[in-house]
Structure 1
Amino acid sequence: MGFGDYLARRWEDIVLLGIGHLQVVLIAVGIAAVIAIVLGSLVAGHPAASRPVLAITGTMLTIPSFALFGLLIPLFGLGVTPSVVALVLYAIFPIVRNTVTGLEAVPPEVLDAARGMGLGSVRRLVVVRLPLAWPVILTGIRLATLMNVGIAAIAAAVNGPGLGKLIFDGLARIGGANALNDTLAGVLGVAVLALVLDLLFLGLVRMTTSRGLR
């Protein structure tokens, strides 16, 4: 069967797998963003705290995805939970790194002016520092999202949702009927999903960043 005929017959299944892939990525990145932005806000400007935090979270990226998914099976079993946990662990570092970088790049004179207006530390963070650092933070979220789109395909190894099922099924039946089509559909689906998300993030940057910071 040609690839065009294969897509015509299985496009509904591919779309459903793509939606599942998108959901697990967005859930994981959303959780990671909350954790990383809070953590980055706490340690920004304090090298004694930020260095070990960045070192520990950065170490997560050195763990092979197959190994990490395997280590999570005894704790969380198979399915969505280990997939989300692994993706959260991978997504934290780029977001917390960019949060620290963005917050530390806020000009001191701006903070002095905010302090002179009577803003406390929490209000300075929420009203001044985070909005000014937002473009850098959003870049970290974008990088984490695109990275997780690829890693989420490996989640099929622990019965996670997504396009990885097509890739793993195709590779397991290599040489069999539609094995190549399954694998190609999964790979192209992941690539298209990453491209669409990247374009959406570029639009989000323009929508959520003031013109003076673009």
Structure 2
Amino acid sequence: MGFGDYLYSHLSNLLLDSFQHVSAVIQSIVLATAIGVLVGIAVYRGPIGSAVATALTSAILTIPSFALIGVLIPVLGLGVKPTITALVLYALLPIVRNTIVGLDNIDPAITSAAQGIGMNRSRVLTQIELRLAWPSILAGMRVSTQMLMGIAAIAAYAKGPGLGVHIFSGLSQIGSANAINNVAAGTLGIVILALILDGIYVLIGRLTISRGIRDTDS
């Protein structure tokens, strides 16, 4: 069976698995962003805290994905829970690091001026600092998303959702008629979805980052 015929005959399954793959990645990015930004806010003012947070999240990336998911399976079982947990952990480093960098690079004169006109600390943080740091945070989310698109394929090891099912199925049947088609379909689907999500991030940046900030960053 040719690759085109294979795609046509398995289109419904591929579309469902593509949706589940993207859904798992997006859910993980949302959770990782909430955690990562809070961690970044908590530590960015102190060099020791920033170094510790960056080191800990960096250490997570040194753990092979098979090993991390394997450790999570006895605790969380199979399926979505270990998948999302692993993806969130892997997504933290770029988001935490970029949150710290974005907040740390804000000109102190800007926050001093805001406090001078009567804004309290929480308003300065939410209305000024986080808005100015948003391009950096968004860049961290973008990096994490691209990284998770590939890592999410390993979730099939834990019976997780996504296109990794096709890759693992094909690899386990190497030599059979459709093994290569299976692997190629899963891999190509991940690449296409990653490119689409990256384009969406570009659009989000244009819609949420003012031209003045974009010009300053460039």
TM-score, normalised on structure 1? 0.99
Q: Does 2:24 align with 1:24?
A: yes
1:102 aligns with 2:102: yes
1:175: which partner in 2? 175
Aligned partner of 1:138 in structure 2 is 138
Please state whether the residue corresponding to 2:78 is helix, strand or coil. coil
Shift of 1:62: 0.6
Q: How big is each residue's C-alpha offset from its partner over 1:76-133, in whole Å with a ceiling of 9 and x where there is no partner?
A: 0100000000000000111010000000011111011011011111111001100001
Could you tell me how far apart the structure 2 residues matched to 1:167 and 1:49 are?
40
Within 2, Cα distance between the matches of 1:185 and 1:63? 27
1:35-62 deviation line (CA, Å, top 9, x unaligned): 0001101111211211111101111011
Which is worse superposed, 117-126 or 94-103? 117-126
SS in 2 for 1:119: coil
For residue 118 of structure 1, give the secondary structure of its aligned residue in structure 2. coil
- How far apart, in 1, do the equivalents of 2:69 and 2:178 lie? 27
Flag structure 1 segments of 5+ consecutive residues without an equivalent: none
Shift of 1:177: 2.0
Distance, in Å, in 2 between the alignment partners of 1:48 and 1:124 is 23
Counterparts of 1:3 and 1:25, CA distance in 2: 27
Report the equivalent of 2:68.
Answer: 68
**Whole-Å separation in 1 of the counterparts to 2:42 and 2:115:** 18
Q: Tell me, in whole angstroms, the C-alpha distance in 2 between the residues paired with 1:74 and 1:27.
A: 22
The aligned counterpart of 1:196 is 196
Unaligned runs of at least 5 residues, structure 2:
none
Moved over 2 A (4+): none
Aligned pairs (5 A) from 1:24-173: 24-173=24-173
In structure 1, give the amino acid aligned to 2:129: R
TM-score computed with the length of structure 2 as normaliser: 0.97
Deviations 1:145-195 (A, max 9, x none): 110010000000000000000000000000112111000000000100100
Distance in 2 of aligned mates of 1:45 and 1:101: 11
- 2:208 aligned residue: 208
Looking at structure 2, the residues matched to 83 and 168 of structure 1 have their Cα atoms a distance apart, in angstroms, of 15
1:11 aligns with 11
Letter in 2 for 1:197: L
Shift of 1:8: 1.1
CA deviations 1:11-55 (Å, max 9, x no partner) are: 111010000000110111110000000110111121121111110
**CA distance, structure 1, for counterparts of residue 39 and residue 123 of structure 2:** 17
RMSD of equivalent CA atoms: 0.6
